[in-house]
Chain A
Amino acid sequence: MVALEATVSGALYIVSALVLAVLASASFVAPQEENSSRVNFLSKAACLLAAFLIVALLALAVQGAKLSGGALPSIDILARYVTRTQSGGLWLWREAYAALLLVLVLSFRNSAAQDRIARWLFLIAVPLVASRALSSHAAAVRENNGIAIAIDALHLIVSALWAGGLPVLFWLLWRRNRDLSAPLGWAAGLVVRFSRLALASVAVIIATGLYQSWLQLQSWSALVETAYGRVLLLKLALFASMLALGALNRCSTKPALLKAAASESLPAKALRRIGAEAALAVGVFCVTGFLTVQPPGAHSQHRLAAASQSAPTPAAGVEIKILSPREGDVVHGDQVPIVFRMTGGKSGYHAHAYVDGELMGMFETRNGTLTGIAPGAHTLELRIVAADHQTELDASDRIHFVVK
């Protein structure tokens, strides 16, 4: 089931990236004067959107099977998932959006002013790719998940432009080599324009990728000690190979193409190198599919927290202070809002809240609410805890309050 889920997830990445890459190629990479190639691009975009709809249906079936304990899902399960869950609603929205985009592509495929239409369709396709961030690991981040989702969305878009654009570029060059219908200068022009797009995309991919990696791992050890970290290492190795081949293509293949006579066919070596880079790009998407089914490295290191039986671990620079409720405060109702100030130092990650010695909550932000507190006098103690949810550091604060 896990392998199937990862495969479908990877396929969805590939198809959605290709949709955006084909429309980006029609908008920014295809020669300005060539409307016929844009018509061709839009036909391919329509096929890819149809493939997206089918793969998304497969993804829904896999999700349904997960919810049915591995069995074939019933219509009732699928309907409940789509209509009553956040991720199911998102699935429905993306499917409807892709269908609408398909109708638009088919409607405008043969109209005049193809360059302008291609750019509009490209812009409309961006949310389809970016919206996957709303049900990704970024959506599950506990703090500032709006920022995490935005950065993941940006990562998805630029990855689609570069890694999705490479197979499209390879296909264009391979086709040109097969029938020699266009001069070599045409191919060189394509490579130059794609190269510019790729260079900008790679810079953003590295920045957003580093942020996301740290967010999901939280420690260097998680990179080698967790399954998520190891799959990420594999992805990074493929990405580094892509970068090396990309640099080679930029420094060697592109100048060779620009120097070659217009009548020559595309050098086989150049085509092989671009093809290898495109194959690595597809590999990166497949590995990303496996990454989505792994628990983030930071989560893998979590263990069920329990009241600490041992002495707190000494740690420098950690401090916690309860700001609300204050000593002796009277709270009405069984919900007790808490506000505190915390300096985590190098190892302090979040706070455990104890009421009368019993662990009642965990807070990663600097405020929260304890619920179900019985009437009477209570002692509230907050302790700073390391990222493993087990190691309590020697920093705590304690107050007394009354619930009426």
Chain B
Amino acid sequence: MSFKPLTAASAVLLTLAGWPALVRGHAYPIIVLPPDGATLREAPREVRMQFTEGVEMEFSRIVVKNTDGEVFSQGKLRRLAEDIVAIDVKPLRAGAYRIEWQVLSVDTHVTDGVLRFTVAPGK
């Protein structure tokens, strides 16, 4: 038997193996409150995220930090729907904050990322 088809298939698979730059995870945030990059007049009481698909609570987390790395999120991550989770935050002072998130989706993929928002001074 000729092994040309097998050789060709192996070459294609090796090419795919070197293609990680195109690969991203599966559960994407589609709605975040407060929105990414927003400047808020009032400090939020919670951070809420809706994803493109359902997420598993175990191995999923949202952490809110200021620029010094001080953590402002508190309590356990709450599930509001299959694809919506929320975390409470302590009272926030004016300043810039990061939302660091990681979720495990129901189709076994792990995704993470960082979003930002600012609480404006004055209130």
- Residues of A with Cβ closer than 8 Å to B? 2-3, 6-7, 63, 66-67, 80-81, 84-87, 135-137, 139-142, 227, 230-231, 234, 238, 271-272, 275-276, 279-280, 282-283, 286-287, 290, 293-296, 299-300, 302, 304-307, 352, 358-362, 368-369, 371-372, 389
Contacts and interface: CB of A to CB of B under 8 A. Distances in A.
A2 B23 contact: yes
B56 A67 contact: no
A135 B107 contact: yes
A290 B15 CA distance: 11
A128 B43 CA distance: 51
Contacts of A81: 58-59
B108 A359 contact: no
The 10 A-B pairs at the shortest CB distance, nearest first, are namely: A3-B17, A227-B22, A140-B53, A283-B9, A84-B58, A275-B1, A140-B107, A85-B56, A279-B5, A87-B108
B104 A283 contact: no
Interface string B7-46: 0010011001111101111111111110111000000001
A2 B20 contact: yes
Contact of A67 (B12, B48, B52, B59): B59
Given A359-B31, A371-B86, 16 more contacts: A3-B18, A85-B59, A136-B107, A139-B107, A142-B52, A227-B19, A286-B9, A286-B13, A290-B16, A295-B24, A299-B28, A304-B30, A304-B36, A306-B37, A360-B33, A361-B84
A68 B81 CA distance: 26
Contact of A80 (B28, B46, B58, B115): B58
A282 B2 CA distance: 15
B52 A299 contact: yes
A306 B35 contact: yes
Contacts of B12: 234, 283, 287
A372 B28 contact: no
Contacts of B52: 142, 299, 302
B9 A362 contact: no
Interface in B85-117: 86, 104-110, 115
A371 B86 CA distance: 10
Contact of B33 (A63, A276, A295, A359): A359
Nearest to B17: A3
B30 A305 contact: yes
Interface residues of B, number: 49
A371 B80 contact: yes
Contacts of B13: 283, 286-287, 290
Residue among B5, B28, B35, B59 facing the most chain A CB atoms (10 A cut-off): B5
A2 to B, nearest CB: 5
Contact of A6 (B17, B22, B107): B17
24 contacts: A3-B20, A66-B109, A67-B59, A81-B58, A81-B59, A85-B58, A86-B56, A86-B106, A137-B26, A140-B53, A141-B53, A227-B22, A272-B2, A276-B1, A276-B2, A279-B6, A280-B9, A286-B9, A294-B23, A302-B28, A304-B32, A304-B36, A360-B31, A361-B31
A287 B10 CA distance: 10
A147 to B, nearest CB: 16
Contacts of A66: 109-110
